[in-house]
Amino acid sequence: MILTERKRIGILTTGGTISSLNSPNGLKPAEGVIEYILEGLSFDKDTMVSKDKETEVKVIPILNKDSTNITLYDQAHIANEIFSLDKKYDGIVITHGTDTMQFTSSMLSIMLESPDVPIVLTGSMKTIKDQNTDASKNLMGAIISAKSQLSGVFIFFHGNLIPGSLAYETTTDLGLTFKSAVGNVATLKNNKLIFEVEISEAKTLLPPLLNTNFDSSILTVTLSPSCQELSVKEIDKRHNGVILLSYGSAGVPKHYVNTIHQLIERKIPVVLSSQVNSLHIGHGNYEINKVAEELGITSGLGLYSFDYANMANSLGMLRVQRTNPKDKLNKFEEIFNKNIQLALNQKYIIKSNNYKKIVEKISNYSESGLFMEMNSLFRKPRETIQQSKRLKTG
């Protein structure tokens, strides 16, 4: 018999439905629920070793919250905990509520640069005590994903493994709860990962980095036909940055042009995002897109959860670096775009045919600026030890 090396997986619990039980006031995160689910998945109650002896898990409670109550401080705490576990585990699973899971996965993908191991968030739509619960399947799938050869931040949910930086929630029902703007990394069938992208196994020369800087003084303006002009003075008093959550391909309505012009004159960064969770934004062929470009607005990815996390981190970096006010907007855009490139320039995304099509479409919008930089990622990968080959399934 050939003995395989046992994989050690750290499971960080933060609360959410997957950890919840009924209480007099409704569902509420409770202690010991994840251990109970693991026992049902044939992990030994005392040793937390799987029945096949191939996996050992350790449950590490770090938060106990409904994810609606998760804050940027909590996300920084999660990032710190993961970073402190470096080298101790072969992979990390984070159990998390679904309401803000994509916000946490986006922030972790920025705060944790070049992680050595897979970091997989999961949760459930139903508790372990409910009929047709998805808690056990999601937790097992996350553990299997955390044992893989991947590295980076992911979400595993309802049989699909997707990039954490490009995830968004599609429903609050038992359906395809989370999707990715670039498709799946893998699907789970018969407890085996079936990879849908070609993945490089290149070893990065860069050590893992932790960057938990953030500034929460952000105003998000969601456009609607009834929107009125904003008060620049009030924004300047309370906020260090503004996200404009626009329609479709993210243009700027005429009645906001004067407000945005004043904000930029006051060196307040404005990021353009979209309500439709699409990467196809900014620098389009319409007049409203041209206006955005001329005003000097920073183009986001078009995924609000990532654009918010990116703005919070970029503003935090400006504060730490004590940037000269005159250089504030240029420095902000430099940091913001670097975070976008780090999120997109990952080996499991770069090989994705869906992503290549998106970049090709975006590059047709503009022959200069951020989108050409994104396109160049295919030609200028980060410095790596080249050991590329296609991963076998299973």
What pLDDT shows up at residue 220? 95
Q: Kindly report which listed range (5-14, 22-31, 55-64, 284-293) carries the lowest average pLDDT score.
A: 284-293
What pLDDT shows up at residue 352? 56
Q: Kindly report which listed range (8-22, 44-58, 62-76, 356-370) carries the lowest average pLDDT score.
A: 356-370
Categorize the per-residue pLDDT at 284 as very low, low, confident or very high, splitting at 50, 70 and 90: low
Categorize the per-residue pLDDT at 264 as very low, low, confident or very high, splitting at 50, 70 and 90: very high
How many domains, the chain? 2
201 in a structural domain: no
360 in a structural domain: yes
63 in a structural domain: yes
204-229 per-residue burial string, b: 16 or more CB within 10 A, e: under 16: beeebebbbbbbeebbbbebeeeeee
Q: Kindly report which listed range (19-23, 254-258, 267-271) carries the lowest average pLDDT score.
A: 254-258
Categorize the per-residue pLDDT at 329 as very low, low, confident or very high, splitting at 50, 70 and 90: very high
211 in a structural domain: no
CA distances from 133 to 136, 173, 322 (A): 7, 12, 50
Alpha-helix residue ranges (DSSP H) falling in 266-303: 287-295
Q: What is the mean pLDDT of residues 107-115?
A: 93
- Residue 127: which domain range? 7-196
Taking phi over 0 as left and psi of -120 to 50 as alpha, with beta for the rest, 26 belongs to left
Task: Quote the pTM value.
Answer: 0.87
CATH number at residue 182: 3.40.50.1170
Kindly state whether residues 117 and 248 are assigned to the same domain.
no
Could you say which DSSP state residue 165 is in? Answer: G
Any idea how long the chain is? 394
Most confident of 295-304, 308-317, 323-332, 377-386: 308-317
230 in a structural domain: yes
Q: What is the mean pLDDT of residues 278-284?
A: 60
Quick one: what percent of the chain has pLDDT higher than 70? 80
